[in-house]
Amino acid sequence: MNFYGSMEAAWQRAGSLLCVGLDPDPSRLPAHLAARPDAVFAFCRAIVDATAPFACAFKPQIAYFAAARAEEQLETLIAHIHREHPGKPVILDAKRGDIGATAEQYAREAFERYRADAVTVNPYMGFDSIEPWLAWRDRGVFLLCRTSNPGGSDLQSLDVGGERLFERVARLAAGPWNGSGQLGLVVGATFPEELARVRAIVGPMPLLVPGIGAQGGDIEATVRAGGPRMIVNSSRAILYAGAGEDFAEAAAAAAQATREALREALARP
C-alpha cells in the first residue's frame, strides 16, 4: 500500500485527525523516569501506549533524540509503535534537505534505519533534492510549505510573481513534483487563512498541521480551513499535560479531549 492509502486507512480506523508529536525534552521528563538510562524511550513509550486509541499517527521529532544521544531509543520506539500499534503511521519530523547523493543517505536514515512511514523535508533546494526520497515508493514525504512560526513569513510570504512562495511550493507539490503521489505538505495551524489557501491549491492531498495546543492554533478555525484530510499535530500540550507519575493518564485525557474537539469541529455544518 502507498502512503496515501495507509493514511486513509489510519484516519478511518482511528476516527481521529490527531497526531501525537513526540518531542521528549530532557528538562521536562517526569522525575521518576529522568534517571533511567532509557528515560527518553520509557517516557515516549508510555505516551504512545496511552494516547494510541485517540491518534491516527505519531510524529517523533528527531532533534530531541539526537541532542540526547538517543538514536537507539528512537529506533526502539518506532519498532515498538509498528509492533504494538500497527496501522498508525510514524512520521519522522527531521526537516532534512540536501542534494542527490546526500539526500539518498538521509532517506536511508529515515526509511531504512528508523523505518519511518513518512518524513518531513525542506523544499528550499528544489525538486532534485526531493526526488531521492521518492525512490521509497511506499513512503510519504511532507514538504515544508507554510510553517507555524512567526518568522515563517520572512521568506514563505514573499511575492514570487502573483503568488506567495508557500503558494508556489503548494502548486509545485500538487503538480509537477508529485508524479508518484507520495507528497504531502506541512502547513501551520497558526495561520488559518493561509491553510485554506493551500487547501484550495492542493485539493485532497494530506496536510500535516502543527501549531495547535501550545503554539496557540485554534482547532475550529483549523478544521474549517483544512477539512478532514489533515494530520493535526499536538506535542507539548499532550506530552506535558501532567508532570507526575500519572503523566501518561494526563496525556491520554488531553489527547482524547483534542480528538473530540477535532471531531466536533468536523461535524459542525
Task: Give the residue numbers annotated as catalytic, written as ranges.
Answer: 95
Distance between CA atoms of residues 88 and 194, nearest Å: 28
Among 45-53, 83-91, 96-104, 216-224, the segment contacting its own copies (CB under 8 A): 96-104
| 148 interacts with its own copies by CB under 8 A | yes
- From candidates 1, 31, 83, 151, binder to its own copies by CB under 8 A: 151
| 160 interacts with its own copies by CB under 8 A | yes
Q: Other CB atoms closer than 10 Å to residue 168's CB: what's the count?
A: 18
| Count of residues interacting with its own copies (CB under 8 A) | 51
Distance between CA atoms of residues 220 and 25, nearest Å: 28
| 25-44 binders of its own copies (CB under 8 A) | 25
Smallest distance, its own copies to C-beta of residue 18, A: 20
Q: Residue written as cell 519530523?
A: 93
User: Which of residues 97 and 184 has its CB atom nearest to its own copies in the complex?
Assistant: 97
The CA-atom distances, in angstroms, between 38 and each of 16, 68, 69, 117 are: 30, 11, 11, 24
- Return the bridge partners of 140, or none: 118
Among 37-45, 82-90, 100-108, 253-261, the segment contacting its own copies (CB under 8 A): 100-108
| 172 interacts with its own copies by CB under 8 A | yes
- From candidates 106, 136, 191, 240, binder to its own copies by CB under 8 A: 106
x-marked contacts with its own copies along 113-132 as a string, rule CB under 8 A:
x--------xxxxxxxx---
User: Which of residues 13 and 113 has its CB atom nearest to its own copies in the complex?
Assistant: 113
| 135 interacts with its own copies by CB under 8 A | no
| 69-88 binders of its own copies (CB under 8 A) | 69, 71
List contacts with its own copies (CB under 8 A): 23, 25, 61, 63-64, 66-67, 69, 71, 95-103, 105-106, 108-109, 112-113, 122-129, 144, 147-156, 158-161, 165, 168-169, 172
